[in-house]
Amino acid sequence: MGKFFMLVIVLVFGSNLAIAQQDNIVHSIQKGESVYQISRQYGVSINAIFDLNPGSRDIIYAGETLLIPNSSNNTSSTSTQITSNGVSNYEVQRGETKSGLSRRFGVSIAMLEQQNPHIVNMLQAGHIINVDKSITEQARTARQGEHIVVKGETLWGIARQNGISVAQLEAANANQLSEFLQIGQTLIIPDKNSVITNPNEYLVVRGDTKFELARRFNMTIAELEAQNPHIIDMLMAGHKLNINKSESNAIATTTENNSVETPSVEVNNPTTNGDYIDYTIQAKETLYGLSRKAGMTMEELMVLNPSLRVAVNKGDIIKMPRNPSAVKESEVVTLDNTSNEIDINVNNRNASLFSNLNTTDVTGLYFYTPFSSQELSSPEERQKMVNADPNKQFYIDFFQGAQIAIDSAKSLNIDFDVALIKKNIAKSSITINSNHKKNALLIPFLDNASHFSEVISNEEVSVIDIESNIVSTNNTKVYKSFPTNELERTKALNYLALQNARVIVISELEESKNKALIQSIIPNAKFLKVDNSGNFGQNALDNTLSTIKPNFVILDSEKTSIFLNSTTALMSRLSNYDIQLVLLESALIPKQNQVSDMRFRVLKLIFPSILDPQNKKDIKDFERSYEDIFEVKPSKHAVLGFDITLDVLLRLAQDSSFESTINNVVSEHPHLRFEYKKSDESNYLNTGLHLLQYNSNEGLIEID
């Protein structure tokens, strides 16, 4: 009986499978085909094929078969017909664009919009499209507030022509811009004086953040989100915000995090009326702990005591309120177990460092800078130096990041002293007289390495090079903490050399600037020259691309125009060739306001990076805490200040020598990985790089 029952189940299941397969088309994969090509052939989406064939997301092989959903079995309420003469009752699907539909139906965007005026301003899922190809395309004239794209135009040119910024133009057309402009596309031209359409509204532009907008309109982020629920998940360019303050005051803020009040502490004149007393900092106290004791935010305490911007040192005397007021949790940036915590022991990546901390011995941390302690502590002096040399802001940002790292290390009970050494180009050496057995000297952004010759110290000092290009002298160990551009290029090329593929290098120069390095790693690489606009000679690209192998195309140029035109040419050939784009340095990636990342995804861009895409939460936690303290987003230099300073302090706090931790421990903080390799007897180089690839389905993934 049991066997009979099982047989019935198998027969029923088999018959259902047979019926399901009859509803689908079986496609035999031909050599050179991609899922994208096959989806276009049958008029179905890529995701529909992926759903039926899960393994096809990764790779497909010639000779195997794919199940293709039969479009005639579409359960849509409309009866869609797509013929050579036109389109009838086509329902727009989520994710489709005018550009994609125009190619699929074989008509221009102008013709698509002419016969379907309801999609001119925005194409939405659910729109019904009808196209009759027998109708002659009419010459169109732009109405007031519109612009029709013609050949050769760019967003920058259109914005300039209409006296507006590119950000305004992008915001007004956020829902219809794709990877590149289309001839005949209708753009909305906003009034250059009406980005804010009325006093109680604001149109979000690219680059805006909730934090900045809340501060600009004197609201909390919670109030901004409460009045604009559509931005809770994500703030996007083109969003219209209600910024009516009277409405935000009427919203109940019953939870602790819904309101942030500023303590009524006089910090501009701390000695008035005897409101403040002198306080001696005790061993292992932190900036956070002192702010809690004072009943103030950390920023307010630093305004009251500028020396705290440099370090919290045992024995220093600072001013504290005589009668501290209670401070709310939401008013401080915390480094312990609260919602604002900077979790510096994330996912046990640094378990070997944290498990062996020596909290008894004291170490020394020195910074070699253009500022003295007094100058760094004085806002007036700092601003005066930045006005004279804007590059000095790099150091200020660096120290603000380092300050958070110092406080984080003190919260772990690590004991160390901090000191600044002001640069003096008249001196040929740096002398350090330390009371500690282990010390580290951090040297950020040295503008002329020849001004740094040697370190003379009575104790061991490890020199940490931060984009300073220092050469070791007098047997001093130098640790280059930031991966070099050459290391980025080498990592990408080594990966390509292992692939069974053709490597093509595109450059506008007669000789690619990286030709010697490329040929030393990939001797068979092909070199292709484009003109100054990024255009190829007739048939030059097609004659170089391989039809039987994958093609890795290295774009060896810093010009955005070269990137745009070259990638446009590559994308137009994806139906005939297997192409992937490669950049040898992360610095060569165009900025987002210049090039849409749609191109990166379509061409599956490969590039080296110091950042780990898996660390998004850690990075956001640091950015949130930094913004709360300093009221600005952290720059690259602030990031270096935090990650490098924290890593150095953790390595100094081990029972083994600093060099031993460098040889044996790979660490990883929110932004940087520290994986040092010895380059010669006195120099170490951080090789902590990731090789990333844009993937249309998963975003950025690590491939090496």
Q: Give per-residue pLDDT as tens, 491-500.
A: 999 999 999 9
Q: What are residue 83's phi and psi, to 5 degrees?
A: -125, 180
**Four-residue CA torsion sign, 529, 532, 533, 539:** negative
CATH number for the domain spanning 653: value is 3.40.50
Closest CA to 346 of 667, 699, 687: 667
- Any domain includes 31: yes
pLDDT at 551: 95
> Where is 109: in which H helix or E strand?
helix 109-115
pLDDT at 58: 64
pLDDT at 646: 93
Bigger pLDDT: 49 vs 58: 49
- Any domain includes 519: yes
Bigger pLDDT: 432 vs 502: 502
d(CA 422, CA 431): 12
Number of domains in the chain: 5
Quick one: average pLDDT of 214-240?
A: 72
Q: Is residue 353 domain-shared with residue 476, that is, in the same domain?
A: yes
Torsion from C-alpha of 196, 199, 201, 204, nearest 10 degrees: 30
- Any domain includes 548: yes
Q: Is residue 575 domain-shared with residue 666, that is, in the same domain?
A: no
The Cβ of residue 638 has, within 10 Å, a number of other Cβ atoms equal to: 25
Residue 336 has pLDDT above 60, yes or no: no
Where residue 8 falls among pLDDT bands split at 50, 70, 90?
very low
Closest CA to 420 of 403, 404, 437: 403
The residue out of 31, 52, 73 marking a domain boundary is 73
d(CA 611, CA 560): 23
Q: Is residue 104 domain-shared with residue 67, that is, in the same domain?
A: no
Bigger pLDDT: 418 vs 164: 418
d(CA 626, CA 620): 10
pLDDT at 268: 34
User: Both tokens of residue 315?
Assistant: 């024995």
Quick one: average pLDDT of 556-568?
A: 88
Q: Which position has the token pair 């009516």?
A: 244
Region of residue 699 (phi > 0: left; psi between -120 and 50: alpha; otherwise: beta): left
User: Both tokens of residue 141?
Assistant: 């004239």
Closest CA to 526 of 551, 549, 559, 509: 551
d(CA 82, CA 101): 12
Q: Is residue 549 domain-shared with residue 403, that is, in the same domain?
A: no
User: Which amino acid is residue 437, in one-letter code?
Assistant: K
Percentage of the chain modeled with pLDDT above 70 = 77
Long-range Cβ contact pairs of 587-594 (< 8 A, separation 24 or more): 587/485, 588/555, 588/557, 588/558, 590/560, 590/563, 592/206, 593/166, 593/167, 593/170, 593/206, 593/207, 594/560
Q: How many CA atoms lie within 13 A of 36 on its CB side?
A: 15
Angle, CA of 40, 43 and 45, to the nearest 5°: 80
Separation of first and last alpha carbons in the chain: 55
Quick one: average pLDDT of 338-346?
A: 41
Q: Give per-residue pLDDT as tens, 591-626.
A: 766 787 788 888 999 999 887 766 777 888 888 888
Residue 64 has pLDDT above 90, yes or no: no
Report the largest interatomic distance among the alpha carbons of the chain, rounded to a whole angstrom. 99
Find the range with the poorest average confidence among 71-85, 187-201, 325-339, 564-578: 325-339
Bigger pLDDT: 649 vs 61: 649
Quick one: average pLDDT of 428-435?
A: 82
Cβ atoms of 429 and 445 within 8 Å: the answer is no
Cβ atoms of 162 and 189 within 8 Å: the answer is yes
Residue 552 has pLDDT above 90, yes or no: yes
Cβ atoms of 428 and 353 within 8 Å: the answer is no
User: Both tokens of residue 648?
Assistant: 């150095």
Which residue spans within 267-405 are E strands per DSSP?
276-280, 317-321, 362-369
pLDDT at 88: 83
Q: pTM for this one? A: 0.55
Q: Is residue 68 domain-shared with residue 88, that is, in the same domain?
A: no
Cβ atoms of 70 and 23 within 8 Å: the answer is yes
Q: Is residue 476 domain-shared with residue 353, that is, in the same domain?
A: yes
d(CA 403, CA 642): 7
- Any domain includes 148: no
Q: Give per-residue pLDDT as tens, 187-197.
A: 878 766 544 44
pLDDT at 499: 93
**Four-residue CA torsion sign, 13, 17, 18, 23:** positive
Q: Is residue 473 domain-shared with residue 582, that is, in the same domain?
A: no
User: Which amino acid is residue 337, in one-letter code?
Assistant: N
User: Which 8-state DSSP code applies to residue 162?
Assistant: T
- Any domain includes 533: yes
Q: Is residue 473 domain-shared with residue 368, that is, in the same domain?
A: yes
- Any domain includes 602: yes
Mean pLDDT across the chain: 76
d(CA 11, CA 27): 26
pLDDT at 610: 84
Residue 331 has pLDDT above 80, yes or no: no
Q: Which position has the token pair 């100054």?
A: 532
pLDDT at 522: 95
Packing angle, helices 392-411 and 636-652, rounded to 10? 40
CATH number for the domain spanning 573: value is 3.40.1010
CATH number for the domain spanning 302: value is 3.10.350.10
Domain that holds residue 121: 81-132
Residue 272 has pLDDT above 60, yes or no: no
Q: Is residue 479 domain-shared with residue 490, that is, in the same domain?
A: no
- Any domain includes 180: no
pLDDT at 298: 72
Residue 344 has pLDDT above 90, yes or no: no
Residue 215 has pLDDT above 70, yes or no: no
Q: Is residue 498 domain-shared with residue 470, that is, in the same domain?
A: no
Residue 261 has pLDDT above 60, yes or no: no
Residue 176 has pLDDT above 70, yes or no: no
Cβ atoms of 108 and 116 within 8 Å: the answer is no
The residue out of 609, 635, 659 marking a domain boundary is 609
Q: Is residue 427 domain-shared with residue 494, that is, in the same domain?
A: no
Where residue 330 falls among pLDDT bands split at 50, 70, 90?
very low
The residue out of 32, 53, 73 marking a domain boundary is 73
Q: Which position has the token pair 């997301």?
A: 57
pLDDT at 647: 95
User: Which 8-state DSSP code applies to residue 622?
Assistant: H
User: Which 8-state DSSP code applies to residue 70?
Assistant: -
Find the range with the poorest average confidence among 284-298, 386-400, 511-525: 284-298
- Any domain includes 100: yes
Which residue spans within 149-228 are E strands per DSSP?
186-188, 201-203
Q: Is residue 50 domain-shared with residue 87, that is, in the same domain?
A: no
What is the three-state SS of 408-437?
HHHHCCCEEEEEEEECCCCCCCEEECCCCC
User: Which 8-state DSSP code applies to residue 538?
Assistant: T
User: Both tokens of residue 642?
Assistant: 């935090």
User: Which 8-state DSSP code applies to residue 10?
Assistant: H
